[in-house]
Structure 1
Amino acid sequence: MSEPPEDFDSGSREEREVAAESAGDRSDLLSLMSHTYRGELGRMSSWRTRIDRTTNWAVVLTASLLTWTFSNESRPHYVLLIGLVMLSVFLGIETRRYRMFDVWRSRVRLLEENVFANALDPEGVKQSNWRKLLSEDLREPTIKTPSVEAMSRRLRRLYAPLLTVLIAAWLVRLTVFTSSGNGVVATAAVGAIPGALVIAVVGCFYLAVLALTMRRPPRRAKGELGSTDDAEEWK
């Protein structure tokens, strides 16, 4: 390893702010942006992998519970309710991971929109203050997507269909495999918990899931691929 020059002073103001010189040099700045883009893209890909891992767990859990529950008439129906709880836990984990993923994705999209897109087709940048925005976000990283929006998006993408399948399977289990002489409400009981209360809780839970799934607030998640309606909503 080469030794630093004798006149090198790591504590001097000039050396501390050596990167500031690139702000006025076009080639240095573009080189720095390309390295920044690769770094942020790597972070984004890492968090995308974490989200996919949780998604795989949720799909495998749902398939396993359905297979096990309907493999024998004596299987208890409340195992499917335990599956609802587990999917809700996965949804919470994935919501948090999605919000972290969006931190890196927003930076990647900022560079793509204002640097690379303009280099390919110079029609002007989307945000004239993109350098200031990126600088502020690097200095003070912030989570940009609210928890409710992140959860709503994950429900629409995956968890609402999985929860619907489990609840539908639970209802089939109560109706098709009901013991003779017992009604659906009586069969829905779990231990000392009355069946009416169990059905009411599941119904309220599903209504909350539908409300979050159908929620369409102004979009804050930046850069996610979506339909034409999503794109217009973002504008």
Structure 2
Amino acid sequence: MADGSPEDDDETGPAPHEIGAGLLDEEMGPSSAMAHLYRGEVHRMKFWRERLDRTTRWAVIVVAALITWAFASPNNPHYVLLVGVVTIGVFLTMEARRYRGYEIWRTRVRILQENVWSYGLDPSLGVDDPEWREKLGRDYRTPTVKISAEEAIAHRLRRIYLPLSGVVLGAWLLRVTAFTSEPLPASASIGMIPGVVVMGVVAVVYLGALFVACRPRTWHAKAELRAEELRERQG
């Protein structure tokens, strides 16, 4: 029989996976521990997001400098633009590693948003994952990388590096056609390397990057904004 004791209140409280129930009621502000936890995860996510942006900025600056130098004089070799492609590959590798770290913190933030804050705002929709507490607890005990290196590379290719490398490819093709008196493929040669070989290697590299970026796959990045998913939700 209920007598108003704390034990009775606990028995009638929300289930363990419904910790967000009533979290944002007017008479009850967000719990201090959960609010600080969420704020800390957002801060770490923001820090890693800024690391990604720094890599991207340096890649754009280096590519812009190489393109400017390549077109500054007809005597400047065209292959400096191919050096830009290699540079893009280096920055892409670095940024993919950082993106995998960024995804650790973003996954935690999205779990809290989906199962705590969204539930507190609208309990009628329930929680997305009843086992979110166990999963988050395990991740705090043993942080794990959430996506593969190949998926991280594909994400960064789609967002930044495929368009950026396309600009470099366009500049290189322009440089070996409109800015030289030699016809293709001879104008694409590098020293003793025939132009046909150079163009073949460039084609293989770009087709490989396009395949990695666009091949069908199951995406594991948490709450990544993709046009296909948005269209399905709107439909």
Q: For residue 225 of structure 2, what is the aligned residue in structure 1? A: 225
> In structure 2, what residue type is equivalent to 1:35?
H
Asked which structure has the greater RCO (Cα within 8 Å, sep 6+), the reply is 2
Residue 48 (str. 1) matches residue 27 (str. 2): no
> In structure 1, what residue type is equivalent to 2:119?
N
TM-score, normalising length from structure 2?
A: 0.82
% identical aligned pairs: 48
Deviation of 1:230 after TM superposition, in Å, equals 5.6
Residue 31 (str. 1) matches residue 47 (str. 2): no
Write the distance in 1 (CA, Å) between the matches of 2:186 and 2:101.
44
1:134-149 matches, within 5 Å, as 134-149=136-151
Write the distance in 1 (CA, Å) between the matches of 2:231 and 2:113.
17
Q: For residue 65 of structure 1, what is the aligned residue in structure 2? A: 66
Q: Over aligned residues, Cα RMSD in angstroms?
A: 1.9
Q: For residue 109 of structure 1, what is the aligned residue in structure 2? A: 110
Q: For residue 212 of structure 1, what is the aligned residue in structure 2? A: 212
Higher mean alpha-carbon deviation, 154-163 vs 189-198, is at 189-198
Instruction: For residue 185 of structure 2, give the secondary structure of its aligned residue in structure 1.
Output: helix
1:187-206 matches, within 5 Å, as 187-206=187-206
Write the distance in 2 (CA, Å) between the matches of 1:209 and 1:127.
35
Write the distance in 2 (CA, Å) between the matches of 1:206 and 1:228.
24
1:33-182 matches, within 5 Å, as 33-122=34-123, 123-179=125-181, 182=182
Deviation of 1:226 after TM superposition, in Å, equals 3.2
- Structure 1 unaligned segments of length 5 or more: list them: 1-22
Deviation of 1:228 after TM superposition, in Å, equals 4.8
Write the distance in 2 (CA, Å) between the matches of 1:144 and 1:231.
25
Write the distance in 2 (CA, Å) between the matches of 1:106 and 1:170.
39
Distance 1:51 1:163, change over 3 A: same
Write the distance in 2 (CA, Å) between the matches of 1:159 and 1:165.
10
Write the distance in 2 (CA, Å) between the matches of 1:227 and 1:186.
42
Distance 1:228 1:121, change over 3 A: farther
- Structure 2 unaligned segments of length 5 or more: list them: 1-15, 24-29
TM-score, normalising length from structure 1?
A: 0.82
- Is the 1:152–1:215 contact (alpha carbons within 8 Å) kept by the matching residues of 2? no
